Amino acid sequence: MPVRKSRNKAFELGGIRIEPGQHRYIELPLPVLYTHSNVFMPVHVAVGKEAGPVMFISAAVHGDEINGVEIIRRVINAKAVKRLKGTLVSVPVVNVYGFINKSRYLPDRRDLNRSFPGSEQGSMAAKLAHLFLQEITRKCDYGIDLHTAAIGRDNLPQIRARIQGDEKLAGLASAFGAPVILDAGFREGSLRQSAAKENCNILLYEAGEALRFDELCIRGGVKGIINVMRHIGMLPASRRRKQAIEPAVAHSSRWVRTPRSGILRTTCPMGKRIHKNDVLGYVSDPFGTSEVAVHAPVNGMIIGKTTLPLVHEGEAIFHIARFDALGDAEAVLESFQNEIDPVDNEVPGPEDEPMIF
């Protein structure tokens, strides 16, 4: 007997009603610029005909973290997403002001990701956070927030989520298929923290550098979102038998700080497996007459590093994740790199034309 399909509900955003089977581009009005130019938060809403979960995907909460903007463009236009069940709400540029200024922050230097839940009467950041929470997060069962490292740093593709004691979220984090899951607590005032308080299951994807497109990180993000949508029944299961990535879980991580000011030469690439006391790099004066080695304080894998070789004493230069089984983590990273290869036609490339559906 065929399973009865239940019809999806309409979705309302900014006073606009989107019916099942429809998709809409919506502009949510934000405080105007001091030039009196209007500013909007752009949102794409796709409401599937059939009922299913409601999920948001968001990027550029930090305005200079732009990998996620391209990830969302590709997800919206991916062939797989045409078979959507439930509702997908895509917000490619949350911090529009920071995006215009190519900056992490709001024009008043506030960090939007430390300003949640915000308020209607507060600062610009508080207003933006409040709007996002009211209009987007509260209406969603799931969310994926896309980030990169801060300016001058690079991150290995990784999922951050508080998975300990939360089997559902652990399953979601694993389904994404990034090589590493960092079981990370909440940052006070973050979108992730306030979404979790609203019972929205939220993952944070961190990959690459600010103000750059990184193809591996972008493909990993597109694939990860589609994987999660399959996992929660928003998309049909993949017909391909290819082994999914089983991410390595790190329950802690540690930043390595430079013991001295100077010019840094790193000798360890991203993703390298390291042992305690391994040399990670050297800090020297411009002539190389005095130099100091930077040693690994623990066993682990480099999941973040500085990209700027000019360092002051005490600056964080390497981020090391600690795993129970380090050898497995290395193998997972290799299979991730092989899986996210450029001939995978499920993940659209930069050259692909958008598909209107």
- Give the nearest distance from C-beta 192 to Zn ion in angstroms: 11
- Give the nearest distance from C-beta 282 to Zn ion in angstroms: 29
Backbone dihedral region for residue 314 (phi beyond 0: left; psi -120 to 50: alpha; all else: beta): left
Q: What element of type H or E holds 295?
A: strand 291-295
- Which CB sits closer to Zn ion, 145 or 183? 145
Under rule CB under 5 A, how many of the chain's residues touch Zn ion?
A: 3
- Give the nearest distance from C-beta 195 to Zn ion in angstroms: 15
Smallest CA-to-CA distance from 229 within 87, 99, 340 is with: 87
> Per-residue string for binding with Zn ion, 94-133, x by CB under 5 A?
----------------------------------------
Contact 296, 274 (CB under 8 A): yes
Residue 162, SS3 per DSSP: coil
Choices 46-54, 125-133, 146-154, 159-167; region in contact with Zn ion by CB under 5 A: 146-154
Contact 34, 97 (CB under 8 A): no
Q: 286 to 315, contacts with Zn ion by CB under 5 A? A: none
Choices 81-89, 144-152, 158-166, 209-217; region in contact with Zn ion by CB under 5 A: 144-152
Alpha helices in 107-241 (DSSP H): 124-135, 167-176, 191-197, 215-231
- Give the nearest distance from C-beta 301 to Zn ion in angstroms: 21
- Give the nearest distance from C-beta 258 to Zn ion in angstroms: 23
Residue 248, SS3 per DSSP: strand
- R_g of the chain computed on alpha carbons: 21
- Give the nearest distance from C-beta 93 to Zn ion in angstroms: 13
Residue 147 interacting with Zn ion (CB under 5 A) = yes
Strand partners, 78: none
Smallest CA-to-CA distance from 195 within 150, 129, 98 is with: 129
- Which CB sits closer to Zn ion, 44 or 62? 62
- Which CB sits closer to Zn ion, 65 or 154? 65
Find the binder of Zn ion among 8, 23, 26, 62 (CB under 5 A): 62
Contact 62, 102 (CB under 8 A): no
Interface residues toward Zn ion, by CB under 5 A: 62, 65, 147
